[in-house]
Chains A and B, each alone.
Chain A
C-alpha cells in the first residue's frame, strides 16, 4: 500500500525543531541511536538494531568455479532485501528505486573497502574458489537502513567461520548524514528522512580511510561541508568499531563457556517489548527559570467586559462578535475602514462568528452608510419605538470601550482592510 504522506504541520514541526537543534527523540545533531548486536546459534548470523531499525544478516559459503577473468579470486555476493514486514510501503513491485540504490551502495562500499581479501578465498586456482554470500533482510524500518545494513554485513562476516579458517576483515562502517538545507543530522530516523532534502553517505574504515562517498537527493553541497562530514564520520566509526569488537568478544566468550547463545536468548523475557517508549534524555534543568521568564514577560490577558444589551424582549447581545476570517468570499465592496485600532481586530482574527444581527448605529451619523447588494443580509429589525432601518454593512468598530454606547455592526466583512 502507498505510504501515508507526511502532513504539512508535522513537516513544519520537524523542520522548526531541527533549526533549533532539537530532534524528536532528544538526541543531539551528531548522535547515533543505540546499537544493539545479537548473534544467532550458527556462525555468521546476526541481528543489528539501530534504534528501532532492525536488520538480519546471514553469511553462507559454497565452493564454485571462479569467474573466467579472475581465476584466483573468490566471489563475494551482497544482497539486501526489503522485507514487507519492515514498512507497509514495501511491496514486491514497488521498491525498485530504493532497492537498487541501497544494494548498489552496499555492494560498492563493501567491495571497494576490500575488507575481505578475495585471493584468500581461492582453493584451487582456476577450478575451485569459495563464493561467500551475504544476505541481509530488513526487518523493521525506522530510518537509516544503510547504516544498519552495513553494520550487519560486517558483523556477520566477522562472525562467520568458513569450514577451514575464519574470515576476518577490516571493519567498515557507514555514516549516514542528512544535510537539511544548512543543517546536518547524523543517523536520521524515519520521520527525519521524510523531511530531508538530501543524503550524504560516507563509509570509513578504522584506519580512517574513506572507502565510499555517495551524495544523493537534490541537495547542493559545498566543499567544506563534505570535509566536515568526513571528519564526523571518522569519529563515529571509531566508536562503532569498538562496539562491534566488544559484541564479538562477548559472543566468543559465551560460546566458549558453554553458555546459552542465540536469538532466543537475546530476547529478554518478562519484559514489555511492544508499545514501549525508551527514555529520551531531555534537558529540564532550566525549565523553571524559563517558565518564570515567560510568565513575567507575557502581557496580562485582555480584560473581557461583558455588557449585555437588550434590544427587544427576547433579543440580547453580548460583545461585538468577530470578523469573518474566511477572507474574500464574495466581490469586495469598498467599505468604511476600521475606525478602531487595528490591534484589537487582530485579537479577534482567528475566531469566526457569524452573528447575523445588525443594529443601527445611533452614535455616529457621520459614518458613511453603504448598502450591500446581497439579499441575504437584508434583515429588518422592527424596534418598537424606532423606525425600521435597513441593514448597513459597516466595518466593525474595534474599540471595546465604545461597545455599550455605540453598537457596532457585525457582518461578514468583504474586504479585509486590516491586512
Chain B
C-alpha cells in the first residue's frame, strides 16, 4: 500500500481519527455462565473474548504448585478466520506461546496471588477478529474477565498500542497502521499508580522520541481505564437490579 498517508495534513488518520483518539470500545462482562469469569471486548474492529477459571486446584503435576502464591496460566489463541488470510495454526506456534507468556507476566503482576496459595488461575483469550492492537484488546478483555470472576487485583490493567508517524505519536493503531512498518509500542499500565506491567516495542524509533510515544500510550491506556470502569459499574448495577437489591 505505497503512498497511503497515515497522517494527513489536517491531522486525520486513515479512519478519520485524530492522533490521540481511541477507537470505539464496547465491552460486556459475564458472557458465559459456565466459566467463573468471562468478558468480550470490541476495540474498533478488533474483537477479543476472555474466559477465566479459578482459583482452583492445580491441574497436572502437583510439583508446580507454589507454596505462597497462585499460579497464573494464560493461553492465547487467535482464530483461523481472524486475519485477512486464513491462519493455518491457531495455537501452538511461537507467536501464540509468546503472547501467552506476556499475558501471564502482566497478570501475575496485577493479581493478588498471595491470597490463593497452592492454586491455579486460568485465563484463556481468544481473538475473533484482528484489526490491530490485539495484545491490548486481549489484556483489556482479560482484566474484565478476572474482575467478573471476583479475583482480587491490585488495579485495572489497561493496555493500548501506540505508534509514531511524521513526528506525531499515534494512539491505538489499526492493522493498516501496523502493517505500514513504523514503530509500534504496546503498553500495559496500572492506571492508579502509573506502573508499567509490560512494555514492548518493535521497529526503529529514535531514542529522543521514546518519551513522547510512551506518554501517548499512557494517556490512551488511562482513557481505556475510564471506559472499562464504566462498563464494570454498569454490569454491577444490572446484576444488583436482577437480585432485587
Contacts and interface: CB of A to CB of B under 8 A. Distances in A.
A327 B102 CA distance: 45
Contact of A222 (B98, B102, B109, B196): B196
Given A100-B98, A108-B202, A208 B197 contact: no
B207 A212 contact: no
A264 to B, nearest CB: 36
A148 to B, nearest CB: 21
A101 B204 contact: no
B245 interface: no
A143 B108 CA distance: 23
B206 A209 contact: yes
Contacts of A215: 196, 198-200
A97 B101 contact: yes
Given A218-B105, A226-B214, A113 B98 contact: no
A213 B207 contact: no
B11 to A, nearest CB: 25
A223 interface: yes
A231 interface: yes
A217 B105 contact: yes
Contacts of B218: 223
Contacts of A298: none
Given A218-B108, A220-B190, A104 B199 contact: no
Contact of B197 (A220, A223, A226): A220
Contact of A210 (B194, B196, B198, B201): B201
B112 interface: no
B204 A208 contact: no
A214 B197 CA distance: 11
A219 interface: yes
B143 to A, nearest CB: 16
A216 interface: yes
A103 B194 CA distance: 30
Question: Interface range on chain B: under 10, 10 to 19, 20 to 34, or 35 or more?
Answer: 20 to 34
Query: Which interface residue of A97, A216, A227 has the most chain B CB atoms within 10 A?
Result: A216
A407 interface: no
Interface string A211-248: 11111111111110011001100100000000000000
B182 to A, nearest CB: 11
Contacts of A214: 199-201
Interface residues of A, number: 35
B196 A223 contact: yes
B86 interface: no
Interface string A272-287: 0000000000000000
B196 A227 contact: no
B207 A209 contact: yes
Given A221-B196, A223-B214, A100 B204 contact: no
A166 interface: no
Contact of B210 (A100, A210, A212): A210
Nearest to A225: B196
Interface in A159-203: 200
Contacts of B205: 209-210
B95 interface: yes
A114 B204 CA distance: 9
Given A210-B204, A216-B101, A226-B196, 13 more contacts: A97-B101, A100-B98, A100-B101, A205-B204, A207-B206, A208-B207, A210-B206, A213-B200, A217-B105, A218-B105, A220-B109, A220-B190, A234-B207
25 contacts: A97-B101, A100-B97, A104-B94, A104-B95, A112-B202, A200-B199, A204-B207, A209-B207, A210-B205, A210-B207, A211-B203, A212-B202, A213-B185, A213-B199, A213-B201, A215-B196, A216-B101, A218-B105, A220-B109, A220-B196, A220-B197, A221-B196, A226-B210, A230-B207, A231-B207
Interface of B: 94-95, 97-98, 101-102, 105, 108-109, 185, 190, 193-207, 210-211, 214-215, 218
Give me the 10 closest cross-chain CB pairs, A-B, nearest first: A220-B195, A213-B201, A218-B109, A209-B204, A221-B196, A215-B199, A104-B98, A100-B97, A112-B203, A112-B202
